[in-house]
Amino acid sequence: MTSATLSLRRWRKTLIPLLAGAALAAVSLAASPRGSAQSRDAVERVVDGDTVKLVSGDRVRYIGVDTPELHHPKKGVEYYGREAKAFNRRMVEGKKIRLEYDVQKRDKYGRLLAYVYLEDGTFVNAELIRQGYAQILTIPPNVRHQEQFLRLEREARQDRRGLWAKQPPKESSR
């Protein structure tokens, strides 16, 4: 056998398992849930009902929720804005959190866009809607929990929780 033949056999023994491993990794990645990237941090301070500043310095805007404004240049402080911020503060300020990302990781302002979870597993975005401190705000492509958020908002409206306390419940469409 020539040295060229031996070299080719070695390459095959190395290259075939390497390519098979790469193909398997690509299939696993494609099959994994969209946006499954995560990170952990701690909340330094609450900015408002749906935005926090992390110890790392990043600002996080909660995906899928919209709380009343506190600092709007034209609207000023909106109804239930202070209550939403206070609730968010009680939930997350000074606590360790897990951030879960969807398709788009940052908004046009450079803020991280995330689903936020407490160490005990509480889903903060969902809890804000469930308790009536926020309404849903769906901005594609980050839509993973849209159906859950719609259901929670419908229930909060029906039960007149939070924001919805002063408004008549909407008739459910059948």
106 is an active site residue: no
d(CA 41, CA 119): 11
Half-sphere exposure of 61 (CA within 13 A, CB side): 19
Q: Of the residues 100, 111, 130, 153, which is catalytic?
A: 111
- CB of 102 closer than 8 Å to CB of 138: no
- pLDDT tens, 6-40? 455 554 555 454 444 444 333 333 333 444 699 99
User: Where exactly are the structural domains of the chain?
Assistant: 1-31, 38-166
Question: In the chain, pLDDT over 70 holds for what percent of residues?
Answer: 75
Q: Of the residues 61, 130, 144, 157, which is catalytic?
A: 61
- CB of 98 closer than 8 Å to CB of 40: yes
Q: Does domain 38-166 have CATH number 3.20.20.70?
A: no
Task: Name residues of the chain where pLDDT drops below 70.
Answer: 1-36, 167-174
